[in-house]
Chains A and B, each alone.
Chain A
Amino acid sequence: MPDSLTGRRRSVLHETRCQTCSLSSLCLPLALEIQDMDQFDAIIRRRAPLKKGETLFRQDSPFTSVYAVRSGSLKQVTTEGSGDDQLTNFYLPSELVGLDGIDEEHYPGTAVALETTTVCEIPFDRLDHLSESLPELRGQLYRSMSKELREDRRMMRLLSRKTADQRLASFFTGLSDRFRRRGYSPYSFRLSMSRADIGNYLGLAVETVSRILGRFQSQGLVEVSGREVHILDLESLILVAEEEGAR
């Protein structure tokens, strides 16, 4: 029995090659030619799936690799001096985790799987080396970093100026957009994160998150049951998210 399980896992791992991966059009090899993709594929380490709650890397541990999410999702949490945890990012399939460790050569937060999650490990020294000969790869790496910077700026604006309603609306429209770009439905998705996680990420008490979820439901903007989210009126939700200042 254990043998066959290992065998199956091995075969799954074996199958996951960039050429056949459905996310290759979103992930780092996006711009690569078929023959270059083989070179890229060769540096990637496939890892066994992380179980829910399992840690991909810990805060302050040495930076070695970046990780592309293949399936599932992760959160990144930074523990501050005061002992408070701040949830800084959620990562969905095709997104790169760990880019913020390059500079200081350790990871600034702990990445935890929110559900069963598979990642492709990309050792950074080899990625760095390879991108010298593959400018398309380097370009894609820059784009990923730029996107993350932009996302952080957006988050900063959200956290410094937005009301609770705007924050939560913005969170849903952002998720919707990320799912849409991945070819999933932008209207129906499952939240892998708890309300406490969402509150921590958005700087809101969990009570506030629940209350606004209730309000969005009574306004017919979304329908939430458990962790299943159905966006009923995306346009109005976008309007709420983009409202200027407080009401």
Chain B
Amino acid sequence: MQHHDRDDSHYLTWPARLDAGSGPAALTRALTERPAGAPLALHVQLPFCRQACRFCASQRVSSPDNRQAEPYLTRLDREMVLISRLRLDHPAVQRLHWGGGAPAFLSLNQMGDLFDRLDARFGLSGARERDFSIEIDPREADVFTLRHLQALGFNRLSLGVQELDLRVQKAINRIQPRVLTESLVDEAERLGFHSLNLDLIVGLPLQTPEGFGETLDQVIAMAPARITLRRYAHLPRRYRPQRGINKADLPDAAAQLAIMGEARDRLDAAGYVPFGLGQFARADDSLAMALEKGHLGRDLQGFTPCPTSDQVGLGVAAISRVGDTLTRNAMTLTDYEAALDASRLPADVGHRLDAVERMRRDAIEALACRHELNPSLLTKAHGLDATVALADALQRLTPLCEAGLLERHGECLRVTAEGVWSLAHLLDAFDSRASPMS
């Protein structure tokens, strides 16, 4: 295992290469070609946080003052108007996600206003089955925030814990006592939020197998339905906050392996089901049930038990996936705001999958969500010979069979239990091109 030059999340947005300049047209076309009545999911990117954590690889604006967010919220509304002008025909939105940054950076009234605007422009569902999720930095939220979010209509939470070891917390400039997380976990349960996820990061400076083992013990004791282990990718040249991290403090390959080993033992013993790409869930969570029934899916936030629908991303660096088209909004606040001030959709890159790419996407999906790859099924579904179209990938997968990550059943490849732990490695086989997206 080496230091990864990217985290695992880029597999959610395959293909990696998006074409500059084609964003607005690609998104407009994809949205107008949608079948009438097809469901639409919304993802809102809120890039603000009070203080930059050193591991951060997001497009973020660090500011002590939430009034700073006002001009951004105005732009978001303009983006919503531009999109809703396309007269999208969709039922009330059942899936809504607010990510960041730290969405709870917004004041309670700002959150309420944003929610109302989304409702006015798109129509948000009030149905019990709706899935309205939000990422929470426990340092930004308290029980009152959660009660407010519940009153708005959110029903799923992901809390960023990252690491509870105080030495590591100091090294990443994120002091966050356990009790902050605990009180939110308890309140979330009381308020009926479901499928609570806790985020942890592996590969942080000063992280040790023992320290991370203790962190996991404490996290498991909070009994979250889901746990995500993200991998820290050290790219200080690309991400300014990472320049505060001393490279010598980073755990080396052997230490990272030992950290993952600790994690694996503990999560196994506690009954968490591994999904690959750092995702774990209790066996009674909807994710694990979806895996068992074979209808697990993925969207831009990761694994999901709900069938994936078209997703529109709003805000800086937000990604939209509509039909076979993927677009990404401007990565900087300046570019994002400039586009909207000129009444243009802020999508600055885009790509529409061709026939072979659609097959590759489905192959990745099959490996990740159903843990198998069946070339003849793909051939039938796509009217293309999968053994030819995916020849390079299949060839790269062959040595992984020998390594015990895959098993051959006739021509069908199945991911082994070991392979689930190295899912990123398996998906790499489909990624012949460098990734400009991550």
Contact mask A210-247 → B, CB, 8 Å, 1/0?
A: 01100000000000000000000000000000000111
User: Does A160 sit at the interface, judged by CB under 8 A?
Assistant: yes
User: Does A60 sit at the interface, judged by CB under 8 A?
Assistant: no
Least Cβ distance of B13 to chain A in Å? 32
Least Cβ distance of A219 to chain B in Å? 11
Instruction: Provide the bound-state CA to CA distance between A70 and B155, in Å.
Output: 45
- Max chain A Cβ within 10 angstroms of own Cβ: one of B144, B145, B150, B151: B151
Contact B109 A207 (CB under 8 A): yes
- Given A160-B190, A163-B192, A211-B112, answer yes or no on A203-B150 (Cβ-Cβ < 8 Å): no
The residues in A between 152 and 178 inclusive whose CB is less than 8 angstroms from any CB of B are 160-161, 163-165
Contact A205 B147 (CB under 8 A): yes
Q: In the assembled complex, which residues on chain B have CB atoms less than 8 Å from the CB atom of A246?
A: 150, 155, 191-193
Least Cβ distance of A165 to chain B in Å? 6
Contact mask B73-111 → A, CB, 8 Å, 1/0?
A: 000000000000000000000000000000000011100
Which residue of chain B lies nearest to A205 when distances are taken between CB atoms in the complex? Answer: B144
User: Does A204 sit at the interface, judged by CB under 8 A?
Assistant: yes
Contact A208 B190 (CB under 8 A): no
Least Cβ distance of B8 to chain A in Å? 32
Contact mask B114-138 → A, CB, 8 Å, 1/0?
A: 0000000000000010000000000
Least Cβ distance of A241 to chain B in Å? 15
- Given A208-B144, A246-B191, A247-B128, answer yes or no on A164-B108 (Cβ-Cβ < 8 Å): no
Which residue of chain B lies nearest to A246 when distances are taken between CB atoms in the complex? Answer: B192
Contact B144 A203 (CB under 8 A): yes
Which residue of chain A lies nearest to B148 when distances are taken between CB atoms in the complex? Answer: A208
Q: In the assembled complex, which residues on chain A have CB atoms less than 8 Å from the CB atom of B191?
A: 163, 246
Instruction: Provide the bound-state CA to CA distance between A212 and B151, in Å.
Output: 7
* Chain B count of residues within 8 A CB distance of the other chain: 18
- Given A164-B150, A164-B151, A212-B151, answer yes or no on A247-B144 (Cβ-Cβ < 8 Å): no
User: Does B143 sit at the interface, judged by CB under 8 A?
Assistant: yes
Q: In the assembled complex, which residues on chain B have CB atoms less than 8 Å from the CB atom of A203?
A: 143-144, 147
Contact mask A185-223 → B, CB, 8 Å, 1/0?
A: 000000000000000000111011001100000000000
Q: In the assembled complex, which residues on chain B have CB atoms less than 8 Å from the CB atom of A204?
A: 144, 147-148
Contact A163 B147 (CB under 8 A): yes
Instruction: Provide the bound-state CA to CA distance between A24 and B248, in Å.
Output: 79
Instruction: Provide the bound-state CA to CA distance between A246 and B152, in Å.
Output: 12
Contact A208 B151 (CB under 8 A): yes
Which residue of chain B lies nearest to A215 when distances are taken between CB atoms in the complex? Answer: B151
Least Cβ distance of A212 to chain B in Å? 6
List the interface of chain B (C-beta within 8 A of A).
Answer: 107-109, 112, 128, 143-145, 147-148, 150-152, 155, 190-193
Query: What are 24 A-B pairs at a CB distance below 8 A?
Result: A161-B190, A163-B150, A163-B191, A164-B147, A164-B148, A164-B151, A165-B151, A203-B144, A203-B147, A204-B144, A204-B147, A205-B108, A205-B147, A205-B148, A207-B107, A207-B108, A207-B109, A207-B112, A208-B108, A208-B144, A208-B147, A211-B151, A246-B192, A247-B128
